[in-house]
């Protein structure tokens, strides 16, 4: 949303009319280097001020690398395509021959090419010459901090693209957490009220349904091996499990993982739970009922992937007319590609019965 500026407020902000003579003299005798927002000075203003120079940077965890398989390479391209093959599926009686038949069933196969766009991401950073000289004088790497900001913006853009997709040329491309082509089911009961048996049924049943949807033709490249859950559910699963009313020495998380892996061992794989902030209640991807969502999937590029044709790369550096330097960074990133959407399942939490 665009900011609305009040001209009078901005005039007061930058005006020195309210400064006392002493404040003006001090500011002239001891100029301050201020940050881009014009807040308090970054450095000591007199000999009696001590500053802890530790830069307390904003915290942010990126989830795309944990949740989304990546496919690297390609360069400065416009699109990436993949192929999907289908075979004819005859009635078994049609291919049975008798001694006098003269009919032969002819098989058929088709190859579909699915093309998805690659989107350029451009981020810039700039620093004035005078400011750069002042910061170098006191040993503060302001340019390095700007490069960190560039990296953070890039990582946040990848999070958004991986989980929520992108609208490109009026066409909607979905992300891992909001794709309507992926099957969705409701949990048996609200997870905060569910027993460990209820939770096991939620996850075990949907793993089996995924295997059925893939015609049982699954191995370690297609069988589910990754369950993303809200952080609150991940915390609840850390408590000891109670089986049949008897508390056992393992946590709910360990019990569920062990039981699910007994099934998946026959397919040559194992499964783990991963917390994600995007699936929490109140987030953009909190499911059909707004109570949270779990995503069961095979974390493999043969199922779903996000192409990164060119990672963030430094481009042109130009000198500005205002005696400064501006550097551009560019990346080419594709929208998520769903090779086998049937190998992914959404399980949406339901409202608690107490409500």
Give the pLDDT of residue 321. Answer: 59
How far apart (Å, rounded) are the C-alpha atoms in residues 347 and 345? 7
- What average pLDDT score do residues 225-229 get? 95
Contact 158, 317 (CB under 8 A): no
Which pTM was predicted?
Answer: 0.76
Q: What is the mean pLDDT of the chain?
A: 81
Of the pLDDT bands very low, low, confident and very high (cuts 50, 70, 90), residue 220 is confident
Of the pLDDT bands very low, low, confident and very high (cuts 50, 70, 90), residue 222 is confident
Taking only the tens place, the pLDDT of each residue in 276-298 is 989 999 988 888 999 999 999 99
Least confident range from 40-54, 144-158, 269-283: namely 40-54
Contact 153, 315 (CB under 8 A): no
Of the pLDDT bands very low, low, confident and very high (cuts 50, 70, 90), residue 5 is very low
Buried b (16+ CB within 10 A) or exposed e, 246-275: eeeeebbbebbbeebeeebeebebbbebeb
Taking only the tens place, the pLDDT of each residue in 164-217 is 998 887 888 999 999 999 999 999 999 999 888 999 999 999 999 999 988 888
How far apart (Å, rounded) are the C-alpha atoms in residues 106 and 94? 10
Give the pLDDT of residue 101. Answer: 66
The CB-based long-range contact list for 54-57 (8 Å cut-off, 24+ gap) reads 55/145, 57/148
- What average pLDDT score do residues 272-276 get? 94
Give the pLDDT of residue 320. Answer: 63
Return the sign of the alpha-carbon dihedral for residues 47, 52, 54, 59. negative
Q: Which domains are assigned to the chain?
A: 182-307+337-348 (3.30.2320.10)
Give the pLDDT of residue 39. Answer: 41
Torsions phi, psi for 210 (to 5 deg): -60, -45
Buried b (16+ CB within 10 A) or exposed e, 132-160: eeebeeeebebbeebeeebeeebbebbbe
Of the pLDDT bands very low, low, confident and very high (cuts 50, 70, 90), residue 3 is very low
Give the pLDDT of residue 129. Answer: 76
Using only C-alpha atoms, the chain has a radius of gyration, in whole angstroms, of 28
Of the pLDDT bands very low, low, confident and very high (cuts 50, 70, 90), residue 30 is very low
Among 81, 127, 36, smallest CA distance to 322 is for 127
């Amino acid at each position: 949303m665009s900011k609305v500026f009040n001209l009078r407020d901005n005039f007061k902000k930058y005006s020195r009319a309210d400064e006392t003579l002493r404040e003006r003299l001090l500011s002239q005798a001891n100029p301050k280097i201020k940050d881009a927002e014009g807040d308090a000075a970054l450095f000591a203003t007199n000999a009696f001020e001590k500053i802890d120079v530790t830069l307390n940077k904003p915290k942010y965890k990126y989830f795309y690398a944990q949740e989304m398989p990546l496919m690297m390479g390609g360069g400065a391209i416009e699109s990436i395509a993949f192929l999907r093959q289908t075979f004819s599926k005859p009635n078994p009686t049609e291919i049975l021959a008798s001694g006098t038949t003269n009919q032969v069933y002819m098989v058929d196969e088709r190859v579909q090419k699915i093309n998805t766009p690659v989107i350029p991401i451009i981020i810039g950073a700039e620093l004035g010459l005078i400011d750069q000289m002042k910061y170098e004088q006191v040993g503060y790497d302001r340019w390095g901090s700007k490069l960190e900001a560039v990296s953070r913006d890039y990582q946040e853009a990848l999070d958004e693209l991986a989980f929520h997709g992108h609208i490109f040329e009026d066409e909607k491309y979905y992300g891992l957490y909001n794709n309507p082509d992926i099957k969705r089911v409701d949990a048996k009961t609200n997870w905060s009220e569910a027993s460990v048996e209820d939770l096991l049924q939620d996850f075990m049943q949907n793993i089996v349904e995924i295997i059925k949807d893939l015609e049982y033709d699954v191995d370690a490249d297609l069988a589910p091996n990754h369950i993303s859950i809200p952080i609150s559910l991940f915390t609840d699963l850390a408590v000891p499990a109670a089986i049949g009313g008897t508390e056992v020495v393992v946590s709910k998380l360990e019990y569920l993982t062990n039981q699910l892996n007994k099934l998946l061992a026959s397919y040559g794989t194992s499964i783990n739970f991963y917390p994600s902030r995007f699936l929490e209640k109140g987030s953009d991807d909190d499911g059909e009922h707004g109570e949270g969502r779990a995503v069961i999937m095979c974390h493999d590029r043969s199922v779903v992937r996000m192409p990164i044709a060119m990672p963030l790369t430094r481009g042109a550096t130009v000198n500005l007319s205002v005696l400064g330097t501006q550097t551009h960074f560019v990346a080419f990133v594709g929208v998520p590609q769903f090779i086998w959407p049937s190998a992914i399942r959404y399980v949406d939490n339901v409202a608690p019965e107490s409500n």
